[in-house]
Structures are given as C-alpha cells and as structure tokens.
Copies of this chain bind each other. A is one copy, B any other.
Amino acid sequence: MKISMHAFSVDVFTNILGNLSWILEKGANHAAARKFDPALLLASRLAPDMLPLTRQVQIACDQAKNSVARLAAQEPPRFEDTESTFEQLHTRIARTIDYLKSVAPGALEGSETRDIKVPAGGRTLEFKGLPYLQHFAIPNVFFHVTTAYNILRHTGVELGKTDYIGGGRQT
C-alpha cells in the first residue's frame, strides 16, 4: 500500500479505463440487441455543442496517457483520432492501458514538484506536478469517462453505477 504519484495516476486511470471498456461493451451489445447501427450511439451527445461518445472516449484516453507522460517527462505515444467502431475504441483504450502500464513507479518519483506545461488553445497552463494531477488530470479523465457513461445512459443503454465503478466486470 504505497501512496505515490504512480498510485494516483497510473493505477487510477488504468482501472477506470478498464471500466470504460466494459461500459462501451454494454453499449455495443445494446445496439446489437435492438438491431440499430452502433455508429448512431458513437455519434450521440448530450447537447448539440458537446462532443459525441467517440470523442469522449478518445479524450479520456488522451488525458490519461498525456498526463502520465508529462509527469514522467516522457513523450507519449500519439494516436490518430480515426476510430469509427466500438471495436476500434476498445483497441485505443487497450493501447492506452498498455502505455500506462509501461510507466514504472520509479519514472514518477519526484514528479510532484516537476514543472508541467499544458498547451490549452493559444496559451500554456503551468502547474507543479502534484496540483496538476489533483486538480487537472484526475478531474479531466473522470469527466470524459462519466460523460461517456451519461451519453450511453441517456440514450437508453442499461447501465448502473456498479458498471462505472467496475463491479460489473469483476463479478
């Protein structure tokens, strides 16, 4: 039970992205059972000017991998945003988790005081590593995972909090 930057980034993100995969699987199964094109679910959104499901998943992955890479002072793998099926989104999540797992705890040692720069539109946000993880990276990853869940829930997919927390895939 070691409290570390690694425990609250790699471990937290790996787990919730696994849950996201599980949630998406339920979405794909729902589309198959109702015999509608799964691409309709992937294009669903909660408001006309919010991003659709596919983008929520892509961004959840990017926030997880890019924040860990910044904390570790590594160059993250780049993914093209070309996914157009549930299967491809599962692959993206799996590749993100593979990258996260490749970052050893030692690579994040001392990252709590590291200077972190995040490009945001035309400007650059600057943080120290710890507040970056607490107040930017963690909130962002959970924002996009929860919004993916909410889009699916809103469009009628049978999901519960247990699926989000991971209880569904663990039993």
A153 to B143, CA, bound (A): 13
A168 in contact (CB, < 8 A): no
Proximity bits, A113-151, B CB within 8 Å = 1, else 0: 100000000000000111000111011101100110110
Q: What 13 new A-B contacts, CB under 8 Å, besides A47-B156, A140-B161, A147-B150?
A: A1-B113, A1-B129, A3-B112, A3-B130, A12-B134, A12-B135, A15-B135, A16-B135, A16-B139, A46-B153, A135-B166, A138-B142, A143-B164
A15 to B131, CA, bound (A): 10
Find A11's partner among B4, B47, B134, B150 (CB 8 Å cutoff): B134
B5 touches A130 (CB 8 A): no
Task: Name A's B-contacting residues (CB within 8 A).
Answer: 1-5, 7-8, 11-12, 15-16, 46-47, 50, 112-113, 128-130, 134-136, 138-140, 142-143, 146-147, 149-150, 153-154, 156, 161, 164-166
Q: A15-B134, A134-B15, A140-B165 are in contact. Are A3 and B1 (CB under 8 A)?
A: no
B165 touches A139 (CB 8 A): yes
- B contact residues around A15 at 8 Å (CB): 134-135
- B contact residues around A143 at 8 Å (CB): 142, 146, 149, 161, 164
A7 touches B134 (CB 8 A): yes
A164 to B3, CA, bound (A): 26
B47 touches A154 (CB 8 A): yes
B46 touches A150 (CB 8 A): yes
